[in-house]
Amino acid sequence: MNQKMDHAMIDDISRVTRDIELLLAANEVAKRGRDDGKHPFGALLAGPRGEILMEQENDEHEEKGTGHAEAALVRRAVKAYRPEFLWHCTLYTTVEPCVMCAGCTYWGNIGRVVYGASEAALLALTGDHEDNPTMSLPCREVFAKGQKPIEVVGPVAEVEATILDLHRDYW
């Protein structure tokens, strides 16, 4: 293996490790929200070097129906950062972005999304719960209809069970 290939592998391993760390951090945000009486979803915005820039709990009490962690975080991010910078950032979210949150991410120009658990796995837990109506439309399909090549990573097997446990205890 040549030296250039070795560095690429190390970078990939480092990135996967950091993705897992930040998904677990987003899950801590979700736990904090749950403890405050909110739905247990959490999101983080990380800069190009993996540094945490923002975090956001779900807030359905303030923004009925649209207070999802990802959408709220993107609304804050576009006020704080230029689109060119956001393109090099990553949105970390405990559960796959819904259609609304994927749209916000797209229009907010965030270039990468990493999620821990799929929306389908969440639906399997919540069923017909009136507080969590879902749309069976994966975020990859939403992004694929756009003109920007948004990178999507998820679900992440190393954290999916931990994230779903938080939801299992809630719904």
How far is 112 from 92, CA to CA, in rounded Å? 9
Neighbour order of strands in the sheet with 52-57: 52-57, 42-46, 90-95, 112-117, 151-153
Structure-derived torsion over alpha carbons of residues 49, 108, 36, 19, reported in degrees to the nearest 10: -30
CA-closest candidate to residue 42, choices 80, 85, 72, 20: 72
Give catalytic residue positions.
70
Cβ-based neighbour number of residue 127 at 10 Å: 9
